[in-house]
Chains A and B, each alone.
Chain A
């Protein structure tokens, strides 16, 4: 999988590359509009991560170019501006998702995976994690081919955990993924706990191993060890 990250801020670029390359992605970067144009015309990418404000031009124009060239890669916009117009315009131009800075790397990772899944397999490819199998299209979860009924939020949680398997997920990234960013954190942490507890119990009851560990003070980690 090859990604093009178009972002002028060095430290953000480094963080994103660091997080995503561990997922096995090959990350290339562009710092300016011109550099991005060059790479877009020269190589193929599975996904473009585009900052809207960059030296030398506007990210929206780049998206237009990507679409005009009929490139197959998906597009995620990352922007410091959270205006409805930008969002609508970006999605209208054909980008797949829009993330407002500051975002969590785990969130970017989960969205990226979902876009690639949708684009390459029409979403019909099951996600398999040892004995757990998820069909993201139908929201179905199977443990050893036995169907487990999860609530909507429990399903979202499981998918988020598996997308970020092996990573320590801070509580607020989980809360934001489930409720968006306007929920009050003091309340949402209690709910995460309840939902996670229920999800965990249902999976274990169905015969799955308990892959979830609590990371003291910070959050959770989903891994097969």
Chain B
């Protein structure tokens, strides 16, 4: 629920509450005022009448009136005035009508008389009854107004906020980098925009220095690695080394090789991230694949893997080195994770390439296979960066890559972008 709707609901509930109480109070107040007026009027009429009656012996003529009634009563009757409202049947209107009535007792000579004066309330009631519709229409008008203003506010005043929200939604470090400050005429939004500007600037800076750090540290590692390797090479030339010494040195070579390869992969990843493979050319995927397969021939024969290659033609516009790495890693993986006497199917068709190979069940969840350093247990010498490099390259060129599994066949499909 939008903030503005939510706050409006509170306003409206409060307004409804006040309106209801207000309407009741107003109703009773007006009613009292009107009744007081009427009571006052009939009281005056009574005083006038009693005054007039002092000079009359008999009241017969006056008794003809509809609204005044005089009758003789016991002397015991109380002499105070009593005002009340009463429904009386009106033959002319054929319905009951409310009257305001004053009953009073007065003394005339030695006799006591009760006088009843009444006055119809229809006019006052009409006044009172007109209050409710007015209040209700005021309330409806208020709601309509609030809703309209809400709409206006969210369209106009909140616009900078929603704009900023949209920009944040699409935020990424590659294309947008920094969400620039934009002035609006609302202080809070200005402040927010300023903070977002500062924050994204800082994120971008951190991201850059992180990238730089990664690249520099990997480069700085190359020289110490070179020193170790070269010293080892000199060491093994020594005539004094015994077989058991050599057995100790061999794993150092292997580990050094692993470290070197890991470092090279990290440099490659950060170079892709830093967009250092900007040079593009038209590449015939078919050609690249055939050249690579030639290089892999020995490996494939060694494992007695049968190869089924169906290559259509497809050219893309990309960096030659990256595409070679992409395809190299995919083919290399399909051999590495294959079983003895297994199969590899390579299909290049339309705008996609599918490489499938037989192999053991995945040791990890399929959706995690492109993560860094996620290794299968069978190949302890691999660094675990091959597929994340593949993914990086695909991301760079916006190629879709997905994995599927049919029986013991693992397939990776790369859908090249039309460009």
Q: Which residue of A lies closest to B242 (CB)?
A: A216
Binds A, one of B13-21, B90-98, B257-265: B257-265
Q: Interface code B220-254, partner A: CB below 8 Å = 1, 0 otherwise?
A: 10110111111111101100000100110110011
Asked whether any CB of chain A lies closer than 8 Å to the CB of B214, the reply is no
Interface size class of chain A, counting residues whose CB lies under 8 Å from the partner chain: 35 or more
What's the minimum C-beta distance from B204 to chain A, rounded to whole angstroms?
Answer: 24
User: Closest 8 interchain pairs by CB?
Assistant: A102-B226, A15-B230, A80-B222, A217-B246, A101-B226, A102-B225, A217-B250, A186-B381
- CB of B227 within 8 A of CB of A11, answer yes
Q: Which of B223, B236, B243, B336 contacts A184 (CB 8 A)?
A: B336
- CB of A167 within 8 A of CB of B237, answer yes
What's the minimum C-beta distance from A150 to chain B, rounded to whole angstroms?
Answer: 16
Q: Which of B233, B321, B336 contacts A106 (CB 8 A)?
A: B233
- CB of A9 within 8 A of CB of B227, answer yes
Asked whether any CB of chain B lies closer than 8 Å to the CB of A65, the reply is no
Which B residues between 337 and 362 are near A, CB-CB below 8 angstroms? none
Asked whether any CB of chain B lies closer than 8 Å to the CB of A191, the reply is yes
Which A residues between 56 and 107 are near B, CB-CB below 8 angstroms? 80-84, 100-106
A172 and B236 CA atoms in complex are apart in Å by 13
Q: Which residue of B lies closest to A182 (CB)?
A: B328
- CB of B321 within 8 A of CB of A84, answer yes
Asked whether any CB of chain A lies closer than 8 Å to the CB of B199, the reply is no
What's the minimum C-beta distance from A21 to chain B, rounded to whole angstroms?
Answer: 12
Q: Which residue of A lies closest to B232 (CB)?
A: A170
Which A residues between 159 and 173 are near B, CB-CB below 8 angstroms? 167-168, 170-173
A194 and B276 CA atoms in complex are apart in Å by 39
Known contacts A12-B226, A12-B230, A104-B229: A168-B321 contact under CB 8 Å: no
Known contacts A102-B222, A102-B225: A15-B276 contact under CB 8 Å: no
Identify 8 new A-B residue pairs, CB closer than 8 A, beyond the known A103-B226, A181-B261. Answer: A12-B230, A19-B233, A82-B264, A100-B222, A101-B222, A102-B228, A105-B233, A184-B379
Q: Interface code B297-313, partner A: CB below 8 Å = 1, 0 otherwise?
A: 01100100000000000
- CB of B249 within 8 A of CB of A81, answer no
Q: Which of A81, A101, A167, A172 contacts B253 (CB 8 A)?
A: A172
Asked whether any CB of chain A lies closer than 8 Å to the CB of B143, the reply is no
A186 and B261 CA atoms in complex are apart in Å by 13
B contact residues vs A (CB 8 Å cutoff): 219-220, 222-223, 225-234, 236-237, 243, 246-247, 249-250, 253-254, 256-258, 260-261, 264, 267, 271, 276-277, 279, 298-299, 302, 321, 328, 332, 336, 379, 381-382
- CB of A218 within 8 A of CB of B223, answer no
Asked whether any CB of chain B lies closer than 8 Å to the CB of A16, the reply is yes
Chain A residues with Cβ below 8 Å from B253 are 170-172, 218
Q: Which of A15, A106, A185, A217 contacts B257 (CB 8 A)?
A: A185
Chain A residues with Cβ below 8 Å from B298 are 191
Chain A residues with Cβ below 8 Å from B219 are 80-81
Asked whether any CB of chain B lies closer than 8 Å to the CB of A128, the reply is no
Asked whether any CB of chain B lies closer than 8 Å to the CB of A204, the reply is no
Q: Which residue of B lies closest to A108 (CB)?
A: B230
What's the minimum C-beta distance from B217 to chain A, rounded to whole angstroms?
Answer: 12
A16 and B230 CA atoms in complex are apart in Å by 8
What's the minimum C-beta distance from B64 to chain A, rounded to whole angstroms?
Answer: 124
A173 and B237 CA atoms in complex are apart in Å by 14
- CB of B247 within 8 A of CB of A217, answer yes
Chain B residues with Cβ below 8 Å from A168 are 236-237
Q: Which of B231, B232, B233, B279 is most buried by chain A, counting CB atoms within 10 A of its CB?
A: B233
Chain A residues with Cβ below 8 Å from B220 are 80
Known contacts A15-B231, A170-B253, A181-B264: A9-B223 contact under CB 8 Å: yes
User: Chain B binding site: helix, strand, loop or mixed by DSSP?
Assistant: helix
- CB of B222 within 8 A of CB of A218, answer no
- CB of A216 within 8 A of CB of B243, answer yes
A contact residues vs B (CB 8 Å cutoff): 9, 11-12, 15-16, 18-19, 80-84, 100-106, 167-168, 170-173, 181-182, 184-187, 190-191, 215-219
A84 and B280 CA atoms in complex are apart in Å by 13
A82 and B276 CA atoms in complex are apart in Å by 12
- CB of A172 within 8 A of CB of B246, answer no
- CB of A216 within 8 A of CB of B247, answer yes
What's the minimum C-beta distance from B371 to chain A, rounded to whole angstroms?
Answer: 20
Q: Which residue of B lies closest to A11 (CB)?
A: B227
What's the minimum C-beta distance from A27 to chain B, rounded to whole angstroms?
Answer: 14
Q: Which of A15, A100, A218 contacts B249 (CB 8 A)?
A: A218
Chain B residues with Cβ below 8 Å from A171 are 253
Chain B residues with Cβ below 8 Å from A11 are 227, 230-231
A196 and B308 CA atoms in complex are apart in Å by 30
Q: Which of A105, A185, A191, A216 contacts B254 (CB 8 A)?
A: A185
A187 and B260 CA atoms in complex are apart in Å by 17
- CB of A104 within 8 A of CB of B233, answer yes
- CB of A15 within 8 A of CB of B234, answer yes
What's the minimum C-beta distance from B218 to chain A, rounded to whole angstroms?
Answer: 9
A103 and B264 CA atoms in complex are apart in Å by 13
Chain A residues with Cβ below 8 Å from B234 are 15, 18-19, 105
Chain B residues with Cβ below 8 Å from A173 are 233
Q: Which residue of A lies closest to B238 (CB)?
A: A168
Known contacts A82-B267, A217-B249, A218-B249: A187-B299 contact under CB 8 Å: yes
